[in-house]
Structure 1
Amino acid sequence: MKTSIILLTYNGLSFTRKCIDSIRTNTPPNDYEIIVVDNGSTDGTVEWLRAQSDLQVIYNKDNAGFPKGCNQGMALAKGDNLLLLNNDTIVTPRWLGQLLSCLYSDDWIGGVGPVTNAAAYYSALQVPYQTLEDMIPFAEQYNRTDPSKWEERLKLVGFCLLIKREVYEAVGDLDERFSPGNFEDDDYSLRIRQAGYRLMLSTDTFIHHEGSASFREDPQSFYALMQTNSRKFAQKWGFSPDYSLGIRHDILQCLEEPEAEPIRVLEVGCACGATLLELKNWYPNAELHGIELNPHAAAIASRFANVRSENIESIDIELPHEYFDYIIFADVLEHLVEPWNVLRTVMPYLKENGKVLASIPNVAHYSVIRDLLKGYWTYTDKGLLDVTHLRFFTREGIGRLFFGTGFQALQFRVNILQPSREDEEWMDAMERLVGNDMKEEWKVYQYIVKAYKKQPAPDTSRSEVIIQLRKLVRRIEWEIDPEESSAELVEMYRNREIEVKDMANILEQDVVFPFKTAQKITEILMNHGLFPSKEELLGKLSKGNR
Structure 2
Amino acid sequence: MQPTPVRTPEAVDRSGRTPRIGVLVVAYNAETTLERTLDRIPADFRSRIDEILILDDASHDGTFTAGCRWSEAEGRPRTVVMRHTKNLGYGGNQKAGYALAAERGLDIVVLLHGDGQYAPELLPEMVAPIERGEAEAVFGSRMMDRGGALRGGMPLYKWLGNRILTRLENALLGSRLTEFHSGYRAYSVAALRRLPVERNTDAFDFDTQIIVQLIDAGLRIREIPVPTYYGDEICYVNGLKYAKDVVKDVLEYRLAVKGFGTCPWIPKPEGYAFKEGDGSSHAVILDRMRALPPGRVLDLGCSGGLFAERLQALGHEVTGVDRVEVPGVRERCHRFFTADLEEGLPEEIGRGYDYVVAGDVIEHLSRPERVLAEIAGVLRPGGRVLLSVPNFSHWYSRLRVALGAFGYDRRGILDETHLRFFTRASLRRTVQGAGYDVLALTSTGAPFWALLGGGGRVGGALAKALGGLSRLLTRLRPTLFGYQHIALLTPHAAETIIAGEHVDVQDILNRQYTPADRVGV
TM more than 0.5: no
How high is the TM-score relative to the length of structure 1? 0.38
* Rg larger in structure: 2
How high is the TM-score relative to the length of structure 2? 0.40
